[in-house]
Amino acid sequence: MKFLCLLSALCLCVATSQADDPAESVVNKIVAVVNDDVITLSDLRREVALFLQQKQVSAEELDALAREILEQLIDLRLVLTVAAEEEISLSSADELEVQALLAQDVADHNNRAQFIEDLHRMGYTESDYVARLRANILSQKTTARMLFQDPFIQPRDLREYYEQNRHLYQVDAKIKVRHLMLSEKVWEAEELQRRLEEVKAELARGTSLAELVDTYSDGPHKGDNGVWELKTPEDFIPPLGERVFELSEGERSEVLESHLGYHLVEVIQREVAQTLPFSEVQGQIEQRVRKDLWVKRLDQWRLRLRERAYIQVFLD
């Protein structure tokens, strides 16, 4: 609770502390030791402040958020240690990426002065912020270098995933209809009736509903030639949905009437509920399995880094 109070106060204040400010000792309180490095409450506050720029959290959630971000900072320090050990550094292309990210951050503000002011409010100088960008890119580069080998995936692994997660590949039943509506809100009763009789006469002469939609329909999907995709009867204008769903593929309804006016509907296509075949989703599954294996390897690697490191946390 003491930690939460300190962090809350720091996240609410503007980062303008001076050397003689009593809060300075609080800002520089050590919250974690990672090998020969330290993470201060000031470091943590800045990262929390950056997060809060994107998403607000309640006071009750702030403690858990800060602890999660502290764990991320610990992981970052461990990966940067590996980078130093393996002599991994930023290339000129990486430095260009740093500058591009910085330029984008500046562009997201009204102007450069506003960007600098916001950085100061969160406790950053511009050089601090650039160093943060460089550290994050170096961390990503090091992680990719250390885990560069693609995980080997057996075809049976993909099939097993499919069988265990068939629900993810279910497609709901749906119908595609073409809808012509004559709206009583657009036409007076006499004109509405006249237009209805014209539509019926055209249909009797063999004119398709698709042709008539462009000329006569007042419906919401006229721009799509009246085509409307429905998954349930409730998706259509009440209370006509049940009647529409009774139609067979290629069948056209009689004139239907609702509080909006008159309707003619024909079913263009019916699709029954089904589970997509393995052959159709195999590529998606491989991407998903590959990503899951990558995350698992990343977690295992981070765990090994923690096991060989000296880490002590001082939050309470």
- Assess whether 186 and 138 both reside in one domain: no
Of 277, 237, 263, 248, nearest in space to 175 by CA? 248
Mean pLDDT of 235-250: 93
- Cα(44)–Cα(315) distance, integer angstroms: 11
> pLDDT value at position 147?
86
Q: Are 34 and 78 in contact (CB under 8 A)?
A: yes
Q: What is the pLDDT of residue 58?
A: 87
Q: pLDDT at position 53, please?
A: 87
Q: Is 87 in the same domain as 178?
A: no
Asked whether residue 107 is domain-assigned, the answer is yes
Domain that includes residue 111, residue range = 2-146
Nearest CA-CA partner of 187 in 195, 179, 178: 195
Q: Are residues 127 and 181 in the same domain?
A: no
- Statement to judge: residues 123 and 11 lie in one domain: yes
Q: What is the pLDDT of residue 152?
A: 78
Burial 233-270 (b: 16+ CB within 10 A, else e): beebbeebeeebbebeeeeebeebeeebbbbbbbbbee
Confidence grade of residue 287 (pLDDT, cut at 50, 70, 90): very high
pLDDT for 185 beyond 50 = yes
Binned at pLDDT 50, 70 and 90, residue 20 comes out as very low
Q: What predicted TM-score, i.e. pTM, was given to this entire model?
A: 0.62
Query: What pLDDT was estimated at residue 315?
Result: 74
Confidence bin at 101 (pLDDT 50/70/90): very high
Q: What is the mean pLDDT of residues 225-246?
A: 93
Looking at per-residue pLDDT, the higher value among 23 and 294 belongs to 294
**Does some domain include residue 202?**
yes
Instruction: Yes or no: say if 6 and 41 are a contact pair by the CB < 8 Å rule.
Output: yes
Residues 23 and 142 in one domain: yes
CA distances for 121 relative to 34, 35, 41, 70, 129, angstroms:
27, 30, 16, 20, 12
Over the chain, what is the mean pLDDT? 89
Claim to verify: residue 123 and residue 204 sit in the same structural domain: no
Instruction: For residue 315, tell me if it sits in a domain.
Output: no
In a domain, 89, yes or no: yes
- Whether residue 14 sits in one domain with residue 117: yes
Say which CATH number the domain at 245 has: 3.10.50.40
pLDDT in tens, 150-175: 677 889 999 999 999 999 999 888 99
Q: Do residue 112 and residue 183 come from a single domain?
A: no
Please report the pLDDT score of residue 8 as a whole number: 52
Residues in the chain: 316
For the ranges 16-20, 69-73, 221-225, the lowest mean pLDDT is seen at: 16-20
Domain membership of residue 46 (yes or no) is: yes
Q: Is residue 157 part of a domain?
A: no
Q: For residue 134, is it within any domain?
A: yes
State mean pLDDT over 83-94: 96
Nearest Cα to Cα of residue 314 among 15, 16, 65, 74: 74
Q: Which residues fall within 8 angstroms of residue 268, CB to CB, at 6 or more apart?
A: 176, 177, 178, 227, 249, 250
Count: domains in the chain:
2
